[in-house]
Structure 1
């Protein structure tokens, strides 16, 4: 049962799934995706400048392996219990032999220097995307394996000086069992799947072509009812649900770029007028090519968020900030959430 619904505690929330190669192993190689990863390393400092210029808070949901400085640290961080997916291609543990010596020699799998640069900037929250890009709904995974994966990710984050409170589940594969593991670990804020239009949150085997087509269409034309999601508290957790995935510039879909931006700006304005939530998310690696077009698109969104903040008092928030506002607005389970976070 939902304990609290903060419909008047909205804002513009931004979260990024920060993965480099760890998000695509099994589907793409460095030859296929390396340009995106190296480009992301150029784009991220520029995104940080843009966010600071326009007062944009952001949660960077970071794959735990990226905290490692070198291969030795990565191998020593591995948990004893690991996912035993039926589809073995899903496990990043199967690709450890491809990892290089350190960040300088392997910029595709390590990113401690980037994480430090992110954390130095105002209101940039370091969250977790699990240690190994863990899938919580795939056949063969267990609560014990997820707990071991999450604990290892939090240990690496803590060693780097970060108290991690927010999680984004890879492919938005959320389950009540996984939420219980997170709560026990003190990670009490998560990005829920949000909009039902072709949404994620299913095993890959059930992510049909129709669902993918609906998700694609929803980026350009609003599918389903025009309603803002709301931050909700339940069972010691805070759900800061997703509103929309920001697709990168596509030459194939260039004719639709204008509609995509209009769709986002219209949803932001509507949410600001109603005091609602608009939670945008994307992968920085997707901005690694066509960088100027993608950064220009994000600049348009950031400027509009700043304008709406001035016009309506509609804040820009990272996930932890959005959760804090919701807890303050509803008064629901604040003490229990703080107790869980302190464990």
Structure 2
């Protein structure tokens, strides 16, 4: 049975958020957002990545258990098509070309294209997670196929499906983080979105994997602490700070041979920096990034550290809560 999102639950987040804003000016914030998409994240791939999808449903539940273990709320940005119980791949009233939906028709893995049961687990969790929107079919909003009418249709279908379940969508995560059609997003009733990570000095460096590897060392860099802003459409932009699976393969193997997990080290630096400050440390990932037990181990370490540091100087909030506090703050107040 569907839980109704937004119902008041006793959680550390709710206790923290009842404090007077003046008492939290020196309180940093950690936000964790997830791109919950299953196979839809690869709808435009020539071949589906079997390794990423083999345990996708299992890892969704594993992650949910970890958030439950540490009582940490997160923003689950769900692809709207996953709300459907089943689908024949036909969407005659959708302005996208019918070929866009060919991958799901027919499919022997329908549970990767339709997954209301997984959304149900998030809605019914004891932790007060936010269910957000990741478009209806994971179309890149910056692509030539994504006209304003396509964007409006994607958003409208998500609202309709979520409304049936008693869920109000207020936060949006753009597919592939390609931000576009913010005017349509605002008109569709959304309040905030995840913005791009601020550019780093090593962004386009040919040695980027190596630089990122070194960042896992004791001398490494700290991910950016970000600040929300209200854009010209009245939407709150909450930039990303760090993808929790930003590099794997040989770079990870090298750093883990010399030091601990580099991503965990970067998270620890970011959490330490935002603790007692006025900014936001915004982590994000896909549940299907977790392809083995090493991924679970990383997430356990990340969430455990955040839980240890949470206190008078550090809160864990959803995107929705950050947006509410940003819009409700006086102009002179900062995070």
Residues 1-36 of structure 1, C-alpha deviation per residue, up to 9 Å, x if partnerless? Answer: xxxxx9866401000011111111332534xx2343
Distance 1:133 1:226 in 2: 27
Match of 2:241 among 240, 243, 246: 243
Whether contact under 8 Å (1:60, 1:124) holds in the other structure is yes
Which stretch of the first structure deviates more once superposed, 19-28 or 300-309? 19-28
Question: Unpaired segments of 5 or more residues in structure 2?
Answer: 1-23
Q: How many residues align?
A: 299
Deviation readout 1:231-267 (Å, 9 max, x if unpaired): 1123321111100101178453222242322122111
- Pick aligned residue for 2:76 from 50, 54, 60: 60
Partner of 1:314: 314
Give a deviation string over 1:54-101, Cα, whole Å, max 9, x none: 1211111111111111115x635x6431269xxxxxx7424242435x
Gaps of 5+ in 1: 1-5, 85-90, 201-209, 333-343
CA separation of 1:137 and 1:51: change in aligned 2, threshold 3 A: same
Q: 1:137 aligns to what SS in structure 2?
A: coil
**Cα 1:212/1:260, change in 2 over 3 Å:** farther
CA distance in 2 between counterparts of 1:199 and 1:8 reads 30
- For 1:273, what is the secondary structure of its paired residue? coil
Verify the 8 A CA contact 2:310 2:316 in the aligned structure 1.
yes
Higher helix share: 1
Partner of 1:327: 327
Q: 1:119 to 1:220 in 2, by over 3 A?
A: farther
1:81 equivalent among 88, 95, 100: 95
Aligned to 1:338: none
Aligned to 1:233: 230
**Displacement after TM superposition at 1:123 (Å):** 1.8
| Cα distance in 2 between the residues matched to 1:211 and 1:129 | 30
1:220 and 1:98 map into 2 onto residues whose CA distance is 45
- Call closer, same or farther: CA 1:212–1:113 in 2, change over 3 Å: farther
Structure-2 change in CA distance of 1:213 and 1:317 (3 Å): farther
2:111 is equivalent to residue 95 of structure 1? no
The TM-score, its normalising length taken from structure 1, stands at 0.77
Structure 1: distance between partners of 2:166 and 2:202: 34
Structure 1 residues 226, 171: CA separation in 2 closer, same or farther (over 3 Å shift)? closer
SS in 2 for 1:240: strand
User: Does the 8 Å contact 1:83/1:146 carry over to 2?
Assistant: no
In the aligned structure 2, how far is the partner of 1:212 from the partner of 1:108?
35
Given the alignment of the two structures, is residue 138 of structure 1 paired with residue 143 of structure 2, yes or no? yes
Specify whether residues 212 and 320 from structure 1 end up closer, same or farther in structure 2 by C-alpha distance, changes over 3 A only.
farther
Counterpart Cα distance in 2 of 1:211 and 1:157? 42
For 2:282, which of 272, 279, 293 is the aligned residue? 279
